[in-house]
């Protein structure tokens, strides 16, 4: 995205991320973009972080330019037995939320005083009142689709009818199977936080989203017309948020040896490990599809736990000779790849994705078609957006976390085979719209300029 500010007028912004790469990534991208236009950014970093990847990404960005500063926000010890979840990321959200009152002195100590605080959605209900108490304008960074935002704003005021969920103010309904698993349980920590944050978003000055007008036009229009929540602050689509060009090494050299559009990239994001049986079926499916593949294999949820046993885990899950049989055609990576670079590589013709929102927007930017295999949370909602936009397909009958069924290798290979020879025309159009929105004069660029102008008014 082109810089949006002129020199000498830079505002200073405080950014408060929460946990998990899916939440951190859009923050870092927004920060890099604002800084490239001259803004000073202070990151307020809750510590300790959950995963090693998060710590590394923050360090990289902060050390890349004097525009960034980092302020530690040490989290007091937190008794996890008092929270209704075992998920390390949700527990971290809770830990930060419970420590919110400690933020007031930290925010007040930031010098020069920030024009605004931009905070991760998971912290909304705990942190908005703190910002309000010190008269600091506060913006929410919503890290998923605006369909998911609509659900968050209205849950549990939704209605369920004939296998579909109706969200007040939206004409389009959601298939019931797409409701995030946790929301079926009102006592689940995710549900509690989701409802509280949804309500509190109305008290913010704006909601920033990593989407663009052409991707979810009807949903955005309904939100900004106050149809979902009357009096909602502006929902500001500034996406797709691009990584800075300096962000990481190029794609794997292995891809250079593959024919154009021949490889399906397989990744379930930064925090999703398939069950062992499903990993084996996926391996069989990839093998029998006859397609080239690049598979980022995760066997544990948090990367810190993976240790140096990658090779051993690979053999244990895939069988000793799988990699030998696949030599030349398929590659399995245990660890972090530069996904943006992979998706930009001409050899990559499809993306079997869990549909984390960042992955969806990254696929859109590169015009890579998505075969959606959502696993939990907002991912089926995002898969619906993928399908509707033309970016890809979603086999709705494929199971996700909590279902007993395992999707069989034969089904996976059949589906991948058909997918890889499908037309890329609709995805190319999504790519054009995505890049158009982010370039000079595009809708997202204009929204961001307008937002920055507001920050400047506050500063002077």
Q: Which helix (H) or strand (E) holds 40?
A: strand 40-47
Backbone angles phi and psi of 358, in degrees to 5 = -65, -40
Q: Min. distance of Cβ 22 from ligand UDP in angstroms? A: 2
Give the nearest residue (CB) to ligand UDP. Answer: 22
Q: Min. distance of Cβ 345 from ligand UDP in angstroms? A: 13
Buried b (16+ CB within 10 A) or exposed e, 15-50: bbbbbbbbbbbbbbbbbbbbbbbbbbbbbbbbeebb
Q: According to DSSP H, which parts of 155-299 are helical? A: 189-200, 217-224, 253-256, 276-289
**CB nearer ligand UDP, residue 191 or residue 272:** 272
Q: Which of 87, 120, 205, 303 is catalytic?
A: 120
CB 386 within 8 A of CB 371: no
Residue 108: partners with Cβ closer than 8 Å, 6 or more residues away: 134
Cross-strand partners of 371: 352, 393
Candidate residues 285, 356, 374, 409; the one interacting with ligand UDP per rule CB under 6 A:
356
Q: Min. distance of Cβ 114 from ligand UDP in angstroms? A: 26
> Does residue 376 carry a catalytic annotation?
no
Interface with ligand UDP, residue 25, by CB under 6 A:
yes
Q: Min. distance of Cβ 89 from ligand UDP in angstroms? A: 9
- Which of 376, 361, 295 lies closest to 87, judged by CA? 376
Q: Min. distance of Cβ 144 from ligand UDP in angstroms? A: 8
Bond into 240 cis (ω within 30): yes
Candidate residues 124, 258, 358, 413; the one interacting with ligand UDP per rule CB under 6 A:
358
**CB nearer ligand UDP, residue 219 or residue 339:** 339
Taking residue 299's Cβ as centre, other Cβ atoms within 10 Å add up to: 18
Candidate residues 51, 267, 299, 435; the one interacting with ligand UDP per rule CB under 6 A:
267
Q: Min. distance of Cβ 405 from ligand UDP in angstroms? A: 22
Tokens matching residue 174: 């959601």
Tokens matching residue 402: 């909590």
Integer Cα distance of 385 and 394 in angstroms: 10
Tokens matching residue 10: 């830079």
Question: Which residues in 330-349 contact ligand UDP (CB under 6 A)?
Answer: 336-340
Interface with ligand UDP, residue 270, by CB under 6 A:
yes
Q: According to DSSP H, which parts of 298-378 are helical? A: 310-318, 322-326, 339-344, 357-366
In the DSSP assignment, the letter for residue 215 is T
Residues 222-261: x where in contact with ligand UDP by CB under 6 A, - otherwise, as a string: ----------------------------------------
Question: Which residues in 359-378 contact ligand UDP (CB under 6 A)?
Answer: 359, 362
**What DSSP string describes 284-310?**
HHHHHH--EEEEE---SSSGGGGTT-H
Beta strands 138-142 and 116-120: pairing type? Answer: parallel
Candidate residues 10, 21, 40, 383; the one interacting with ligand UDP per rule CB under 6 A:
21
Question: Which residues in 1-20 contact ligand UDP (CB under 6 A)?
Answer: 20
Q: Min. distance of Cβ 333 from ligand UDP in angstroms? A: 8
Which region among 42-50, 124-132, 171-179, 358-366 touches ligand UDP (by CB under 6 A)?
358-366
**CB nearer ligand UDP, residue 12 or residue 242:** 242
Which region among 72-80, 123-131, 216-224, 264-272 touches ligand UDP (by CB under 6 A)?
264-272
Q: Min. distance of Cβ 27 from ligand UDP in angstroms? A: 11
**CB nearer ligand UDP, residue 289 or residue 340:** 340
> Does residue 440 carry a catalytic annotation?
no
- Which of 87, 27, 76 lies closest to 54, judged by CA? 27
Candidate residues 107, 296, 348, 368; the one interacting with ligand UDP per rule CB under 6 A:
296
Active site residues: 23, 120
In the complex, the residues that contact ligand UDP under the rule CB under 6 A are: 20-22, 25, 267, 269-272, 296, 336-340, 356-359, 362
């Amino acid at each position: 995205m082109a810089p949006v500010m002129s020199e000498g007028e830079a505002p200073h912004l405080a950014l408060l991320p929460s946990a998990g790469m899916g939440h951190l990534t859009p923050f870092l991208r927004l920060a890099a973009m604002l800084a490239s236009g001259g803004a000073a950014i202070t990151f307020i970093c809750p510590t300790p972080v959950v995963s090693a990847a998060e710590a590394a990404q923050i360090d990289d960005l902060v050390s890349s330019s004097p525009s960034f500063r980092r302020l530690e926000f040490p989290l007091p010890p937190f008794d996890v037995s008092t929270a209704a979840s075992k998920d390390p990321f949700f527990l971290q959200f809770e830990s930060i939320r419970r420590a919110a009152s400690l933020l007031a002195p930290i925010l007040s100590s930031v010098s020069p005083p920030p024009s605004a605080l931009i905070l991760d959605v998971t912290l909304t209900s705990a942190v908005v009142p703190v910002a309000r108490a010190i008269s600091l304008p506060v913006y929410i960074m919503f890290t998923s689709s605006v369909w998911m935002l609509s659900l968050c704003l209205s849950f549990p005021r939704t209605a369920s009818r004939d296998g579909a969920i109706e969200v007040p103010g939206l004409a389009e309904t959601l298939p019931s199977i797409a409701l995030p698993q946790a929301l079926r349980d009102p006592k689940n920590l995710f549900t509690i936080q989701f409802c509280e944050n949804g309500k509190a978003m109305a008290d913010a000055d704006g909601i920033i989203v990593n989407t663009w007008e052409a991707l979810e036009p009807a949903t955005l229009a309904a939100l900004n017309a106050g149809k979902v929540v009357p009096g909602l602050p502006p929902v500001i689509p500034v996406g797709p948020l691009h990584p800075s060009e300096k962000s990481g090494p190029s794609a794997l050299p292995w891809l250079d040896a593959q024919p154009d559009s021949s490889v399906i990239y397989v990744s379930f994001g930064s925090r999703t490990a398939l069950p062992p049986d499903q990993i084996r079926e996926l391996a069989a499916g990839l093998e029998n599809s006859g397609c080239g593949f690049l598979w980022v294999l995760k066997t544990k949820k948090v990367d810190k736990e993976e240790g140096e046993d990658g090779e051993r885990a690979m053999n244990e899950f895939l069988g000793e000779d799988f990699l030998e049989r696949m030599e030349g055609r398929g590659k399995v990576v245990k660890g972090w790849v530069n996904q943006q670079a992979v998706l930009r590589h001409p050899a990559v013709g499809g993306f079997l994705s869990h549909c984390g929102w960042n992955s969806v927007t990254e696929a859109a930017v590169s015009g890579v078609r998505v075969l959606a295999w959502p696993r939990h949370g907002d991912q089926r909602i995002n898969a619906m957006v993928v399908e509707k936009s033309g970016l890809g397909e979603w086999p709705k009958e494929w199971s996700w976390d909590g279902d007993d069924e395992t999707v069989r290798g034969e089904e996976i290979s059949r589906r991948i085979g058909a997918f890889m020879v499908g037309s890329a025309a609709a995805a190319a159009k999504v790519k054009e719209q995505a890049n158009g929105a982010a370039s000079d004069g595009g809708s997202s660029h204009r929204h961001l300029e307008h937002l920055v102008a507001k920050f400047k008014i506050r500063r002077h």
